[in-house]
Amino acid sequence: MKQITLIIALIISTNIYAQDHHTRPLITTQGTSTVYTEPDEVLFTYSVQTEGDDLLDARNKNAQITAETIAFLKKKGIAPEHIQTQYLNIGIRYRDHRQREETKYYAASQSISVCLKDMDDYEEVMIGLLSMKISNLNAPVFRTTSHRSLMDEARSKAILAAQEKAQALASELGQSIGLAYHIEEVDFQQRWPQQNAYANVAGGDAMVAVDDEDGIALGQLEIKAKVSVSFHLLSEE
């Protein structure tokens, strides 16, 4: 009987604490922070497209140009594991589907993905590939290998910003804040910047972003964090 009474007392006291905990006044603020850093690696993809008298001819031409570009990348010090070739696509194409036999040709295409670790070689690698017989060079994506530690730093600064904002708001009402009641990270879509370095060599188009006389601009990465924090609101009385 005493055990049952004790259990009931604990349940009642827990409910009272929970009700009091939820009914205490709160102040909720959001804090944001941005940390800037230089990129230390860049990802890009280029493709090689060739035509031939037959499928084998198209394939051989493609293999030769692809091998030349890979040899160039390796010569620039890019490790083989950072050069990834995709499946070779070979087939018959038609320039005009209404006159299929008259406009039939044989084509091969290959895409190569590259991760460049030495940013000092970035401009030379881009220009070198553009001077070769590639068909497309997609916009590079810049990244940092220190993203996790920089994200932790951004979160820490965002929490402090939320706390300072809550303190400032509460002080205007002659109140202060207590312990944090709830902390939630708000999703911030991180976007890795892309360089305006797209080239359609086969079509005669080329666009490369250049920063005045300093060559291709690399820019900075933004690591953003946003948090929402609820604090207990305390009276100064």
Residue ranges per domain, the chain? 25-40+144-237, 42-142
Q: Cα separations (Å) of 39 from 140, 207, 217, 219?
A: 12, 21, 12, 8
How far apart are the C-alpha atoms of 180 and 38, rounded to whole Å?
A: 34
What are the pLDDT digits (tens) for 117-138? Answer: 999 999 999 999 999 989 999 8
- Multiple choice CATH, 25-40+144-237, 3.20.20.70, 3.30.110.170, 3.20.20.10, 1.20.1070.10: 3.30.110.170
Beta strands of the chain (E only): which ranges?
Answer: 26-37, 41-52, 83-85, 89-94, 104-116, 136-137, 141-143, 175-186, 197-200, 205-208, 221-235
Judge residue 187's burial from the number of C-beta atoms within 10 Å of its C-beta, 0-12 exposed, 13-18 middle, 19 or more buried.
Answer: exposed
What contacts 54, CB < 8 A, 6 or more positions away?
A: 106
Is the pLDDT at 30 greater than 80? The verdict is yes
- In this prediction the pTM is 0.66
| pLDDT digit string, tens, across residues 190-209 | 655 555 444 444 444 433 33
Q: Which CATH number fits domain 42-142: 3.40.50.720, 3.40.50.450, 3.40.50.360, 3.30.70.2970?
A: 3.30.70.2970
C-beta atoms surrounding 203 within 10 Å? 9
Output the six-digit token pair for 197. Answer: 């370095």
pLDDT in tens, 96-115: 767 777 768 899 999 999 99
